[in-house]
Structure 1
Amino acid sequence: MKFKYNHIIVTLLLSVYLFSSCEDFVEVAAPENKMVRDVVFENEGTAKSAMTGIYNELFRAEFSNGQRNSITILSGFSGDNISNIYDTNIERIQFEQNEIIPDNSGNLSIWSSAYNIIYMTNSLLEGLENSGGISEQVKTQLEGEARFIRAFSYFNLVNLYSDIPLLLTTDYEENQLLSRTPMSEVYEEIINDLLLAEELLGGEFPENERTRVNSYTASALLARVYLYLEDWDNAETFSSKVIEATSNYEILNDPEEVFLANSKEAIWQISPLGGGGLSTHTNEGNLLIVDPVLSFLAGIELEEELAAIFDQEDKRLANWIGYDSGLEVFFAHKYKIRNSNDYPIEEYSMVMRLAEQYLIRAEARAHLGDLPEALQDIDVIRERAGISLISEISPEIGQQALLDIIMLERRKELFTEWGHRWFDLKRTGRAGEVLGSQNPLWEATDIWYPIPSEERMRNPNLSQNEGY
């Protein structure tokens, strides 16, 4: 009972303190919250609950919740993996046509919800720094987790918007007129946070749940960051750290088991408990699965061209792609549960998993000219999928051909997961070639989303991306 009472009190306090930024970060009211901060960080129990509150908010925050305005869905539309079944929602059609206007509310939701998470992590970090009632061990753990989540949020923002404001404090006077920080400097801060998080965190799973991050989660995101920066050596180094942690992670033979709660392939997941416990299904499952009885509720389909790139014997086609004969549409079926209020929870939303680390290392090694090792890594993914191994059918493959196969496997493996296809097309310079051929309105400036008009009205120092 004592824990439950503390949890209720902390939730109320966090609603005043950590959530005070609400819809935007640039117009945070003058904080009258010293007493609130003192209460939240006066002991380890309430400080841990504050961190739990941030994890829970990730299930509710628009950019990360897997719902209609999440990065998974909106950036999925921006790429060429999913599309709208109906053309009634103009704002989502804008993402699909790469014609987003600055007033688009979905775009604003991504921006503001990510910055709200950043504001919360900054609040927690400041509270930890000024607290005298928490042991160094707990401080170290919570700081590492907060720094990781801040870096993760910035990583997604900088890859959607390019230069963005770098918010590292809760000082409302400083924040409300911040201008955009160059992308390179944002990446520097992301790397600094992740390196420190990796150092501060242990390799175990806090509370034995993969919904909490550990040092390998930081290593995995560092591998992705370095891949995007084309630092192939570091991309290989950090992905290897995760791949070699075989007591924690493994590629599961059965694709049906990958997206289960605490799957051994999971590096980081988000629990539906963040929604308050009234339902226990993932938002992705609820949104993407086409129910055969309630098919009229469906709004998203997989592109037929995506389904067509899979070999017929590919287990991913059989296990991760569904087909509704009534609507005549393919749909993502990585999650199997559309609605549930049952316990124990069977599925968590996947954020990061081991298969991506093999794909990262394969790409890095291919760029480094280590083709035999790159072949081994890509074949780990193909072997699980039940398709022919490149090392057997094309052992003398050249560098560019191998890189093309790696990008194809990334598309097949990571569809409807966190905008990977959209980010891959942009970072490899292929967005215009691929999307321009499908979209007559495509312009080179469409690779960046617009800075939301509402934010620019509040902050005159926010410049707009070119083309908007």
Structure 2
Amino acid sequence: MKFKFRNYIYPAILCAAVLAGCSDNLDVQPYDGLTIDQTTGTPEGLKAATIGNYNYIKDPYYTRNFHMLVEYPSDNVALSGTTTDPLFYAYNYQHLTAMSITGNFFRKAYQAIYGTNVVIEKLQEGQSAELDQVLGENYFLRAMVHFDLVNIFGRPYAQDGGASPGVMIRNNTDINDLPPRSTVKEVYEFVIGDLEKAASLMGSTKSSSFASKEVAQALLSRVYLYMENNEKAIEYADLVINSGRYTLLPTADLPNYFTYANETNRETIFAIKHTLQDDRTWGSLGSLYLNDGMGYGEMYASESYRNLIDKFEEDKRRAFIVPVYEKNADGSIKKGADGKPVLAARNGYQKYYITKYSYQEGVVTLSSPVYLRLAEMYLNRAEANAKLGNDEAALEDVNLIRRRAGLSGEALFSASNMMGYTSVLDVVLDERRLELAWEAQRKYDVFRNKRTMVRNYPGTHLPSGSNVQEIPYTHPRVVYFIPEQEIILNPKLEQNP
């Protein structure tokens, strides 16, 4: 990729002063007018560059596009109308080789990787615990971005042992080095190496807005789970769970989970910090899910997800879905002939807003997208145990999550109460869906487990006159095309079928 990376790194460094409010005691000064060698030639400059690297993954070209590419193809969402936004092509599996959300994500991801490589090349290990922490954070960010890239553009590891084409591995700042795509397996191995290095360098003192030892371990649990190295997935989940750093939010607080700032939520392991000055308003993730004085409110909770969550009325996770009702002239809710409230609709699709990306600190469109949290670690362990035949241990973790959601008695699973399920793995995968809905995990959970994405419910993903859309895990559009422009810039890149 022959971008002028130096042109992109300046804004990251210069924004450090602006971002200092979300740093943990980093005394960041402005570096206006200095060359990149000067700004990264001192410990303070390397800290500033690291804050700039976090800013890359906070950029909407990264965070917003990542969410659209991963969550919108899932069975948790239903779009209520056509749109000129290219999100529509992600939602309905009609991908293009020149699709702006993939192109912008790809480029922003490699800008972030370049930024981490600048710090990794310039910062010598072992100078101090503080600088080792900075170095470790860059190893983590480099791993995370490679992992996101390979899962978007490469087929799930478990389908063929990682033999299919992945993405470019970039571990240096040589802009003339244009490598071909490594295999998915090679990228995963690179990610694991970086995460292990990150965990060895970092301590546990950072808030969830930054990488720490446990953040790296949590991502290692996910990576190994996706590889179906179940023992390792359990090992790293255990390290995070037993670290004592995190606790599940109490049941009463669960409906408010995503309204809390990172620093006040002890369940969050890593989230991409947004403050009020970062509020994207109409361009925020939450704006498509909800309209409350601001927002489009066009993407709703799917009928199939609602049917699953509505099995138990006491499930506190139902609070993340808000049904919208028609109003009378006086503002009261309109009732039908049967006396029940009349659901509002858009283009004939009933409105069920989603609130997981809204109301942080009371602001309608403010959100700090959660990337890793403790509930996932229990569910990683549950899935891995289910695949190892440890059914009792798997159900124990599932029930822990269900109890936290307010469920008890017959709503809990046991060998004698499987509630119609024929396998513990099916139980775990549905619990992951219930707990992690709209957090950009469902698509991966379906396809890496060689399942079919079943979207037989109302929404504009269905062709006219059809009520069925089922995407098998073998479908070519499980992954996205490599952006056409990137292949022009680097002819070594092989296009996906």
Q: State the SS of the aligned residue for 1:331.
A: strand
Q: State the SS of the aligned residue for 1:173.
A: coil
Q: Which amino acid aligns with 2:167?
A: I
1:136-285 to structure 2, matched below 5 A, reads 136-162=128-154, 163-174=166-177, 177-205=178-206, 209-253=207-251, 254-259=253-258, 260-261=260-261, 262=263, 263-273=265-275, 277=277, 279=279
| 1:380 CA displacement | 1.0
Q: Does the 8 Å contact 1:51/1:146 carry over to 2? A: yes
Q: Does the 8 Å contact 1:290/1:324 carry over to 2? A: no
* Residue 320 in structure 1 maps to residue 320 in structure 2: yes
Q: Does the 8 Å contact 1:61/1:114 carry over to 2? A: no
| 1:45 CA displacement | 2.2
Q: Is the alpha carbon distance of 1:16 and 1:79 closer, same or farther for their aligned partners in structure 2, counting shifts above 3 Å?
A: closer
Q: Aligned equivalents of 1:244 and 1:406: distance in 2?
A: 21
Q: Does the 8 Å contact 2:274/2:366 carry over to 1? A: no
Q: Does the 8 Å contact 1:13/1:40 carry over to 2? A: no
> Which residue does 2:112 correspond to in 1?
117
1:276-315 to structure 2, matched below 5 A, reads 277=277, 279=279, 286-293=286-293, 297-310=296-309, 311-315=311-315
Q: Does the 8 Å contact 1:280/1:340 carry over to 2? A: no
Q: Which amino acid aligns with 2:136?
A: G
Gaps of 5+ in 2: 1-5, 15-33, 155-165, 326-343, 457-461
Q: Which amino acid aligns with 1:306?
A: Y
| 1:446 CA displacement | 1.5
* Residue 424 in structure 1 maps to residue 445 in structure 2: yes
Q: Which amino acid aligns with 1:268?
A: F
Q: State the SS of the aligned residue for 1:169.
A: coil
Q: Is the alpha carbon distance of 1:452 and 1:87 closer, same or farther for their aligned partners in structure 2, counting shifts above 3 Å?
A: same
Q: Which amino acid aligns with 2:121?
A: E
Q: Which amino acid aligns with 1:87?
A: T
Q: Is the alpha carbon distance of 1:39 and 1:155 closer, same or farther for their aligned partners in structure 2, counting shifts above 3 Å?
A: same
Q: State the SS of the aligned residue for 2:300.
A: strand
Q: Aligned equivalents of 1:393 and 1:416: distance in 2?
A: 24
Q: Aligned equivalents of 1:308 and 1:258: distance in 2?
A: 22
> Which residue does 1:447 correspond to in 2?
478
Q: Aligned equivalents of 2:453 and 2:278: distance in 1?
A: 43
Q: Is the alpha carbon distance of 1:283 and 1:245 closer, same or farther for their aligned partners in structure 2, counting shifts above 3 Å?
A: farther
| 1:165 CA displacement | 0.9
Q: Aligned equivalents of 1:107 and 1:357: distance in 2?
A: 29
Of residues 398, 403, 416 in structure 2, which corresponds to 1:378? 398
| 1:414 CA displacement | 0.9
Q: Is the alpha carbon distance of 1:375 and 1:278 closer, same or farther for their aligned partners in structure 2, counting shifts above 3 Å?
A: closer
Q: Does the 8 Å contact 2:402/2:412 carry over to 1? A: no
Q: Aligned equivalents of 2:12 and 2:82: distance in 1?
A: 40
Q: State the SS of the aligned residue for 1:227.
A: helix
Q: Which amino acid aligns with 2:147?
A: F
Q: Aligned equivalents of 2:270 and 2:494: distance in 1?
A: 34
Q: Is the alpha carbon distance of 1:339 and 1:369 closer, same or farther for their aligned partners in structure 2, counting shifts above 3 Å?
A: closer
Q: State the SS of the aligned residue for 2:415.
A: coil
* Residue 438 in structure 1 maps to residue 475 in structure 2: no
Provide, for residues 286-322 of structure 1, a one-character-per-residue CA deviation record: whole Å limited to 9, x for no partner: 4244224557x32322212211211242434432111
1:43-62 to structure 2, matched below 5 A, reads 43-62=42-61
Q: Aligned equivalents of 2:53 and 2:367: distance in 1?
A: 20
> Which residue does 1:24 correspond to in 2?
none
| 1:12 CA displacement | 10
Q: Which amino acid aligns with 1:452?
A: P
More displaced, 427-436 or 157-166?
Answer: 427-436
Q: State the SS of the aligned residue for 2:123.
A: helix
Q: State the SS of the aligned residue for 2:370.
A: strand
Q: State the SS of the aligned residue for 1:352.
A: strand
Q: Aligned equivalents of 1:372 and 1:391: distance in 2?
A: 16
* Residue 42 in structure 1 maps to residue 41 in structure 2: yes
Q: Aligned equivalents of 1:371 and 1:45: distance in 2?
A: 51
Gaps of 5+ in 1: 1-10, 20-34
More displaced, 222-231 or 79-88?
Answer: 79-88
Provide, for residues 326-366 of structure 1, a one-character-per-residue CA deviation record: whole Å limited to 9, x for no partner: 33311211244179779xx9953211100000000001111
Q: Aligned equivalents of 1:460 and 1:137: distance in 2?
A: 42
> Which residue does 2:328 correspond to in 1?
none
Provide, for residues 346-399 of structure 1, a one-character-per-residue CA deviation record: whole Å limited to 9, x for no partner: 953211100000000001111122222111111111111122467955334689
Q: Is the alpha carbon distance of 1:251 and 1:380 closer, same or farther for their aligned partners in structure 2, counting shifts above 3 Å?
A: farther
Q: Does the 8 Å contact 1:267/1:353 carry over to 2? A: yes
Q: Does the 8 Å contact 2:246/2:374 carry over to 1? A: no
Q: State the SS of the aligned residue for 1:62.
A: helix
Q: Does the 8 Å contact 1:270/1:351 carry over to 2? A: yes
Q: Aligned equivalents of 2:83 and 2:363: distance in 1?
A: 31
Q: Aligned equivalents of 2:150 and 2:452: distance in 1?
A: 17
Provide, for residues 81-103 of structure 1, a one-character-per-residue CA deviation record: whole Å limited to 9, x for no partner: 12322202262222122110111
Provide, for residues 178-210 of structure 1, a one-character-per-residue CA deviation record: whole Å limited to 9, x for no partner: 2111111111100000011111111222xxx32
Q: Which amino acid aligns with 2:322?
A: G
Q: Aligned equivalents of 1:91 and 1:373: distance in 2?
A: 43
Q: Which amino acid aligns with 1:371?
A: D
More displaced, 391-400 or 452-461?
Answer: 391-400
Q: Aligned equivalents of 2:431 and 2:324: distance in 1?
A: 25
Q: Does the 8 Å contact 1:279/1:340 carry over to 2? A: no
> Which residue does 1:8 correspond to in 2?
none
Q: Aligned equivalents of 1:241 and 1:390: distance in 2?
A: 31
Q: Aligned equivalents of 2:8 and 2:356: distance in 1?
A: 37
> Which residue does 1:22 correspond to in 2?
none
* Residue 409 in structure 1 maps to residue 409 in structure 2: no
* Residue 107 in structure 1 maps to residue 119 in structure 2: no
